[in-house]
């Protein structure tokens, strides 16, 4: 489940192709920091609220979609010269990539529903508090996810670094990254809730 690319991995891939390995790695750490939020929410029962409330689900879903569309439009409108001038080691740029990774994951309503549906299946009431077990399972999931995310980030970043050394590829790179963000935004907006699927 972790290895198959979903919206978060696709975001990391797009960031790597757009800005290189350092930005992709920062995005991967950001995405997994966002997973901490979902793990805590599942342990506290907040994910159950999201699953049971159509309004709460729609709010998170549309916020996430709007943010991804914003990233796509911003990427589409930036100049090729600016893209070429981006330094992957720039601290502010890496902090920005990290922050965006956190937001992309936190605003992904499907991740919250996944943690709600997946982690409780392994909880054994005999072994102690359910919330503590969910935190442990969530930590294991996060560790495995981080390893996979970093592998994807390094691969995409290597491709991105190679593309940036070829000026003719910059425009294609910008358009493809923008298309990925816009596509993810559209997919998030059209995601059905648990209610409509049942």
* Distance of alpha carbon 140 from alpha carbon 20, whole angstroms: 28
- What share of the chain in percent tops pLDDT 70? 73
What dihedral do alpha carbons 160, 164, 170, 175 form, nearest 10°?
Answer: 10
* Distance of alpha carbon 156 from alpha carbon 159, whole angstroms: 5
* Distance of alpha carbon 96 from alpha carbon 51, whole angstroms: 30
pLDDT at 195 over 50: no
pLDDT at 194 over 60: no
What dihedral do alpha carbons 46, 6, 103, 68 form, nearest 10°?
Answer: -120
* Distance of alpha carbon 19 from alpha carbon 26, whole angstroms: 11
Handedness of CA 117, 118, 124, 129 (dihedral sign): negative
Q: How confident is the model at residue 167 (pLDDT cuts 50, 70, 90)?
A: low
- Domain ranges in the chain are 7-192
* Distance of alpha carbon 20 from alpha carbon 193, whole angstroms: 34
For residues 130-153, average pLDDT = 90
The SS3 assignment for 198 reads coil
Using a cut of 0.75, tell me whether the model's pTM lies above it.
no
Highest-pLDDT range among 28-32, 85-89, 91-95, 125-129: 28-32
Give the per-residue pLDDT at 198: 34
Give the per-residue pLDDT at 48: 63
173-187 pLDDT, tens digit per residue, is: 667 777 776 786 777
Count of residues making up the chain: 198
**Are 39 and 120 within 8 A, CB to CB?**
no
Q: How confident is the model at residue 91 (pLDDT cuts 50, 70, 90)?
A: confident
Handedness of CA 23, 25, 26, 30 (dihedral sign): positive
pLDDT at 172 over 80: no
Cβ-in-10-Å burial (0-12, 13-18, 19+) of 151 comes to middle
Q: How confident is the model at residue 147 (pLDDT cuts 50, 70, 90)?
A: very high
Q: How confident is the model at residue 108 (pLDDT cuts 50, 70, 90)?
A: confident
* Distance of alpha carbon 74 from alpha carbon 69, whole angstroms: 8
**Are 192 and 113 within 8 A, CB to CB?**
no
């Amino acid at each position: 489940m972790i290895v198959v690319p979903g919206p978060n991995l696709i975001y990391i891939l797009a960031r790597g192709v757009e800005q290189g390995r350092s930005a992709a790695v920062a995005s991967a750490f950001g995405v997994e920091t966002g997973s901490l939020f979902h793990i805590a929410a599942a342990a506290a029962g907040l994910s159950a609220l999201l699953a049971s409330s159509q309004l709460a689900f729609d709010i998170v879903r549309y916020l996430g979609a709007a943010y991804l569309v914003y990233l796509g439009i911003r990427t589409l409108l930036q100049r090729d010269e600016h893209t070429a001038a981006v330094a992957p080691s720039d601290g502010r740029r890496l902090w920005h990539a990290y922050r965006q990774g956190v937001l992309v994951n936190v605003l992904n309503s499907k991740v919250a529903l996944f943690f709600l549906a997946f982690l409780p299946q392994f909880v054994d009431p005999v072994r102690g508090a359910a919330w503590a077990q969910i935190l442990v399972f969530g930590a294991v999931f996060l560790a495995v996810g981080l390893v996979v995310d970093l592998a994807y980030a390094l691969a995409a970043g290597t491709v991105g670094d190679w593309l940036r050394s070829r000026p003719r590829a910059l425009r294609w790179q910008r358009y493809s990254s923008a298309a990925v963000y816009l596509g993810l935004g559209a997919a998030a907006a059209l995601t059905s809730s648990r209610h409509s699927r049942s």
